[in-house]
Structure formats: C-alpha cells, structure tokens
Chain A
Amino acid sequence: MNTDRAPAAPRDYSRFLERRSFIEMRARERARAVLDPGSFCELLGPFDRIKSPWLPLQGIIAQADDGVVLARGTLDGKPALVAAIESAFQGGSTGEVSGAKIAGALELACRDCEQGRPVLPVLLLETGGVRLQEANLGLAAIAEIHAAIVALRRHVPVVGVVAGMVGCFGGMSLAAALCSRLVVTRQARIGMNGPEVIEQEAGIAELDATDRALIWSLIGGEQRWAAGLADDLEDDDAETIAAAVRGAFASGTPPALPRTVLIERYRERLAAIDPRQPLDGKTLRILWNESP
C-alpha cells in the first residue's frame, strides 16, 4: 500500500470528473464549445453541400461540409470566427474546398478588421496536412491560409488550438506556427512530417513510428510548449481550452514579433546543434530553455 503519497483533495477529484473531453468532440461540437453559449452560427454548413468535386471521381465518398466547420459567434461578447477541422473525415486533410473555406473566412475577417470591425479568429487544427487526392489544389489552398493568417495577425491575434489525437502536420503545421498564439494539450502532436512518413522514408533506425513515448517526446504538445513553439499547455477539457482561447485574446494586441519573423534567433539555435550528436527532446529543452 502506498502510504507516503498524500491523498488529493476531494475538490481535485470532482474537477477531474467534471471534465468534458475536447479531444473526443467532433469539429462542430468543438466550435460550439469554444464560442459563447448560444452564439454559434454556422456558415456554409452541410446543407449548403459545398463539397469536394474530386473525391467521388476517385471512388471516395465526399462529406457535405468537406470536413471544415465555419462558425460566426462571440467570445466574451466580441464578434469571433471559428474554423474547426473534422479529423474523422479523411484525417482532417485539407482539400481544395475545405482549404478555401478556411482561407475565404480568414480573408473576410481581415477585411472586417481593416474596416474597423474586429473579428477574433480561432483555428481548431486537427489535420494530417494536404489531402493527397487533391494534391496541388489543396497545397494552393494551404498557401492562401498562410497568407491570410499573416495578413490578419497584424490586426488581431490569430489563435490556434491543436488538441489531438490526430495532431497537426504538413503545410497546416506551418499554419499552426504562423498563429499569434498556439494552445496545445499533452495529447497534441505538431510536425512537418508524421512519424509514419519519417519511418517510411528514412528507415526504422531513424524513427520507430510505433514508439509512442519517443514520438511524443519529440513532437508532442508538452515538448513543443517547452521548446517555445506553443504558448499554452492545457488539460483536455473543453472549458479549460475555451478559457485559454479567451485568455489568448485578452492579452491584447498581437505580439509585435511573431515567432515566424524571428529568423535570426532560430538560425542561431539551429546552428548551435551538432547533427553528429544524438539529440533528444530533453536536450532540446535545455538548449532552447524556453520552458516557463
């Protein structure tokens, strides 16, 4: 019997039991959970049937919203826009239509901001990256998303959330990096190439894609946060994540120097790494020393 560990206060148990998993929610529920109660108003919803024209040509069933939920609503009473990616449909992959939905919404939010009507943008990212069946059209849409985030973040903070369990990969991991503030959970993963791709291309000696502890130690949410590549590390609880999103906007104007313009800082850091020495997650945390 373990007698040397102090029992947790009953209050902690009740808080744990009252948690509502954000990870287990579908994209539409996530968007609702982030916005003020009752303010969710969907744009280009499933009944508008704006879906992929390319998937059926390849024998794949299309989804009526192409896997992206766009919603207007409010955050603490202020006009907001949420774009939530549905990871259960084609791994949350970004196609021509789903990508255009996100890019178009961000561009319209940017226009509103320029006309003195600020809109708070939130991206709930859960995606393997570009949809391979739509190739260059998906990549072009992702480039438009990147450009829209960069244009928009001059006016308002662009807040990204990567909750898991898919994570955020490929071109959309660059979209996550471009966000003014990034909220993650321990279950999240962020990276350019997913573990399976690395194992397939570089061999199992480079990375064993079945080694979950290793993968999360390299690209997991906590590691990304400790290395300064994410801003908030939160528990998998809808209320906590919604509060973190509000907190990210409450911090006021967007940071003057987003991570993605600190090119010299990251060049120096990369130059200081000796590729002949094995580098693990712990060593990177010490080298970059950003853990708050």
Chain B
Amino acid sequence: METIRLDYPAQHTIPRRAHVGVVGSGDLEVLLEPSQDNQAHVLVNTSVDGFGVAWKNVLDRFFARFQCAVSIEINDFGATPGTVMLRLEQAAEAARA
C-alpha cells in the first residue's frame, strides 16, 4: 500500500463535487471536489507499490487539459493507467455536468 501526493496549478473552478468508481479488482474510486486555494491537489491511495512514476505521468497528462482547482482523492485497487484516466475524465464530466 502506498500514498502519493501531487499538486498542480489551476485556472478554473468547478461548480460541484463528483464521486465515481469502486474500490474493486482492477478499478478505483475517485472523489473530486472544488478546492479552496485555487490549486489542484491529488491524494492517491494505491494497493500496488512502486508505480509512482506511472501515477505522475497519468495525472500530468490529465491536468495538462483539466486545469481546475480541485481536491481529488483516489482509492485504487490495481487499476491500469487507462482505467485511471477514464475514471478521472468521468469524474470531471460528472462535476461539470
């Protein structure tokens, strides 16, 4: 089990919070809510150790486009990077809908 924290600059705000996914095999849960300090913060709790670089790559790519001031908590149960990106986009879509 490993905890990873990452921060990103932000330019926009989101109107509401969103929750998607489940801590099930090969899946993850994303809790996304507006942050108060005009920055983005990510907390990753993952069951698989040693993939910090892969997490940073996925989140760098997500925030290159998303650029919203949010606090994201991820509870991961061995999701692949593709699944992580889909869940992040699903949460972003739900928060903006």
Contact = CB atoms under 8 A, between A and B. Distances in A.
Given A59-B47, A61-B46, 12 more contacts: A26-B22, A45-B19, A61-B45, A61-B76, A62-B75, A64-B19, A64-B75, A86-B22, A88-B23, A88-B24, A88-B25, A90-B23
Given A47-B19, A88-B24, A89-B22, A63 B47 contact: no
A151 interface: no
A60 interface: yes
A contacts with B: majority SS: loop
A47 B17 contact: yes
Interface residues of B, number: 18
A88 B49 CA distance: 22
B64 interface: no
9 tightest A-B contacts by CB? A88-B24, A63-B23, A88-B22, A46-B19, A59-B1, A61-B47, A89-B23, A61-B75, A61-B45
Interface in A82-105: 86, 88-90
A38 interface: no
A239 to B, nearest CB: 24
A56 interface: yes
B63 interface: no
A89 B21 CA distance: 10
Contacts of B17: 47
A239 B80 CA distance: 34
B75 A56 contact: no
Contacts of A88: 22-25, 27
B89 to A, nearest CB: 18
Nearest to A87: B24
Interface string A39-83: 000000111000000001001111110000000000000000000
Interface residues on A, range: 10 to 19
Contacts of B45: 56, 61-62
Nearest to B3: A56
Contacts of A61: 1, 23, 45-47, 75-77
Contact of B31 (A46, A59, A60, A62): A46
B22 A64 contact: no
- Output the residue of B23, B31, B33 with the most chain A CB within 10 A: B23
B24 A47 contact: no
B73 A64 contact: yes
Contacts of A59: 1, 47
B50 to A, nearest CB: 14
Contacts of A60: 1, 47
Given A56-B1, A88-B24, A89-B24, A63 B19 contact: no
A59 B1 CA distance: 6
A241 B71 CA distance: 37
Nearest to B48: A61
Interface string B44-79: 011100000000000000000000000001011100
A113 B82 CA distance: 48
A61 B25 CA distance: 11
Interface in A7-58: 26, 45-47, 56
